């Protein structure tokens, strides 16, 4: 996954507005669309023509205004492939009105999925779940979770059971049972236990809450609002954001494996202090920066 923008409210010379891209097996999952997101996506070689799902957390300009330019760029590039757009219910109306006023049409279909708590999407490879965030407007946090994978395949066990190499092996590796000489062979006879997929959580703008702690349980990577340092907690409370130490405490309590802080106020010229504060609570913390890419490893069985 790649951070395309990591600033809060306004861009800076080194930080664009919020956007995070997950790349998985040729598909892009884009979380939030700050202004100019199509340019930062191109800079990071994020393809705009392939399978895509867009998750919008809330209708504040720094998180959604870039979607118009992104869609226009895609249309000018003659995109035809449909995409899925998830966001607060009012997002669909906002897009209809602004597109009409700006007189531009789309060359591709958009399937709009209104956000609500619970599972919103199920695809062959992953699912998307949402929970309500605690912000100044209706807002949602998201989890992108891969489907589980079959266990490790053991060829010697397959041969011992008389399963010929080829399509039958492939089916067993995919978790399907096969018939050999009138006998049924099931995946558990030739493979190890199923392996979990990867799980990424994205908070958007929010105050921390017990509900979000449960929602983000055991994320392999948690990307969390860290607009303010601990010293500016009064501002976080007033504007319904999270401090770096609050984000770290939530990651620890959720049993997350890694925490990426993002959405930094422009008041901070460096994030080193915020990371130091967070690491005292949750050591496996990094500060996001524009262009930073992180590989998310498969969890252990």
**Which pLDDT score is estimated for 301?**
62
Span 207-218, pLDDT tens digits: 999 999 999 999
The predicted model gives 268-290 an average pLDDT of 97
pLDDT at position 271 over 90 = yes
Domains present along the chain, CATH in parentheses: 2-148+196-287 (3.60.15.10), 155-189 (no CATH)
**Which pLDDT score is estimated for 148?**
87
Active-site residue (options: 62, 220, 225, 232): 62
**Which pLDDT score is estimated for 165?**
93
Mean pLDDT of the chain: 95
Q: 0.95 exceeded by the pTM?
A: no
> Is 62 known to be catalytic?
yes
Task: Say which range, 145-149, 207-211, 259-263, has the weakest mean pLDDT.
Answer: 145-149
Confidence of residue 150 (pLDDT cuts 50, 70, 90): confident
What secondary structure, in 3-state letters, does 76-119 show? Answer: HCCCCCCEEEEECCHHHHHHHHHHHHHCCCCCCCEEEEECCCEE
pLDDT at position 227 over 80 = yes
CA distance 127 to 53: 11
CA distance 285 to 278: 7
Confidence of residue 195 (pLDDT cuts 50, 70, 90): confident
**Which pLDDT score is estimated for 194?**
84
How many residues are given for the chain?
301
Half-sphere exposure for 15 (CA within 13 Å, toward CB):
24
**Which pLDDT score is estimated for 151?**
86
């Amino acid at each position: 996954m790649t951070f395309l923008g990591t600033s809060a409210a306004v861009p800076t010379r080194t930080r664009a507005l919020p956007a995070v891209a997950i790349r998985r097996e040729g598909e892009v999952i884009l979380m939030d669309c700050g202004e100019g997101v199509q340019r930062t996506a191109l800079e990071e070689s994020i393809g705009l023509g392939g399978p895509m799902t867009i998750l919008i957390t809330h209708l504040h300009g720094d998180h959604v205004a870039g979607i118009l330019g992104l869609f226009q760029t895609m249309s000018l590039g003659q995109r035809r492939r449909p995409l899925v757009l998830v966001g607060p219910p009012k997002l669909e109306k906002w897009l209809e009105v602004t597109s009409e006023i700006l007189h531009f049409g789309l060359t591709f279909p958009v399937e709009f999925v209104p956000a609500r708590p619970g599972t919103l999407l199920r695809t062959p490879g992953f699912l998307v779940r949402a929970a309500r965030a605690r912000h100044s407007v209706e807002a949602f946090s998201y989890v992108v979770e891969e489907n589980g994978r079959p266990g490790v395949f053991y060829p010697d066990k397959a041969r011992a059971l008389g399963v010929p190499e080829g399509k039958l092996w492939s089916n067993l590796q995919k978790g399907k049972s096969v018939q050999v000489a009138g006998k049924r062979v099931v995946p558990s006879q030739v493979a190890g236990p199923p392996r979990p997929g990867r799980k990424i959580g994205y908070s958007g703008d929010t105050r921390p809450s017990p509900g979000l702690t449960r929602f983000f349980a055991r994320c392999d990577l948690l990307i969390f609002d860290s607009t303010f340092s601990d010293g500016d907690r009064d501002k976080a409370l007033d504007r319904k954001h999270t401090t770096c130490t609050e984000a770290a405490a939530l990651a620890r309590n959720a049993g997350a494996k890694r925490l990426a802080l993002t959405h930094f106020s422009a008041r901070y010229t460096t994030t080193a202090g915020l990371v130091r504060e967070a690491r005292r609570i949750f050591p496996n913390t990094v500060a996001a920066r524009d262009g930073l890419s992180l590989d998310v490893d498969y969890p252990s069985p």
